[in-house]
Structures are given as structure tokens and as C-alpha cells.
A and B are shown apart, each in its own frame.
Chain A
């Protein structure tokens, strides 16, 4: 029963490098999200997707891009990493049942350090 799986779990990048974080869910959920968590800031939404092939900006989208080519996968890209992007990144997914929102299920997080 995998749920939401994030890879990698840890990564250290140098300033200016690029990387892609992968999120996979096996619950056939329509919605997927990327959040970042910083001390004292709670979770802030970066980008989200309401279905395959569609993405939208959240609260803090600058410096990130996303793609959802398959329903079960949601990728978060950093084209040119900056120290301000040092954070813990969480992917989540959720669904609608008869039009009612259901709770979000979270991955275990990716701890990214940009030096």
C-alpha cells in the first residue's frame, strides 16, 4: 500500500544546478500538489494539478516548474537552484467523491539543501 511516494528523499545541490523531484501516487487521485515546508511558515503551495496535462500556480511558484504527463505522476523542477530553495518539499494527492473534497495524502518529503 504505497500511497504517495517521493524521490529522492535527500539531495544537496550547488547554486545554479537543476534537478527534478518525482512524485508518484497509486490511488488514482485527480489532484496533486507540491508544497514546501520551512520553519515557522507551515506548508506553502508551490504548484498544483487538477488532472493529467493541467497545472496551475500556487502561493509560491517562482523558480519552480511542474509537469503532469501521467495521472499518477507529478514532477517538480528547479531549473537553477538558489539557497532560498533550501526546504523540505512535500507532494500530496487528493480526490473528489460526488463533488466533495477528500483529505490530502502526503508523501514522506524530500529534504533539499542548496549550497
Chain B
């Protein structure tokens, strides 16, 4: 069984400030980890993913995330927030083995960017 916990359902940052969205997971097998972004009234768009290899993963729009196995974390960061980053962000996990095709989502974190 796998689960995802996103700390903070709502995060506010000032424009230009650091964005940090937290995600912790539990998985009985080595995980694949994802961050998705959802803009209002739209579907989910992949920001970045970790499968194997380098633990620091860079995504679109200047976001990056680091897989820390010892902390079971996959926090999302961006050095400088932009107004266009205002959206809801979802962390998701799946197992890495064959047949591990169920994607489990966290409850989401809504990011507000204050001018």
C-alpha cells in the first residue's frame, strides 16, 4: 500500500520569494514520484518526475524536487515565485515494479502568490 501526505492545504508566498511545497510518501516498494500542477478549471499537467538515477529532478517552469529516501520525502521548490505559479499542486506516488500502475495522489496544496 502506498500513501502521500502533503503538508499544508494552502501556502501563500510573496512574488519573488522561495516556494516550498512539502510531500512525504509511504511505499512498500521503491517508488516513482511525481508532481502535477492544476490551473483553475483545467486538467493536471506533469511538472516533474523521479524514477531512477539522480535524486534532484528539474521540471518545467523552474521547479525542482529532491528525492530523499531516508526522509521519505519529495519536496517541490522554486527559488523565486511568479504570479503565474498560482495553482494547485499534487504530489503522487506509484510503485516501480511491473504491475505497479496505480497512481496515488496527495490531497493537494493550493499555492497563492501575493504581489
Q: Which residues of A contact B (CB under 8 A)?
A: 4, 31, 33, 35, 40-45, 48, 50, 58, 90, 92, 94, 96, 99-101, 103-109
Q: Is the CB of A90 within 8 A of B43?
A: yes
Rounded to whole Å, the gap between the CB of A87 and the closest CB of chain B is: 14
B56 on interface, CB distance cutoff 8 Å:
no
Q: Which residues of B contact A (CB under 8 A)?
A: 9, 32, 34, 36, 41-46, 49, 51-52, 90, 94-96, 98, 100-108
Which residues of chain B are near A41, meaning CB under 8 Å? 107
Which residues of chain A are near B106, meaning CB under 8 Å? 42
Q: Is the CB of B102 within 8 A of A48?
A: yes
Q: Is the CB of A40 within 8 A of B100?
A: no
Q: List 15 A-B contacts (CB under 8 A).
A: A31-B101, A35-B105, A40-B107, A42-B108, A44-B105, A45-B102, A45-B103, A48-B101, A92-B103, A94-B101, A94-B103, A100-B52, A104-B103, A106-B44, A107-B43
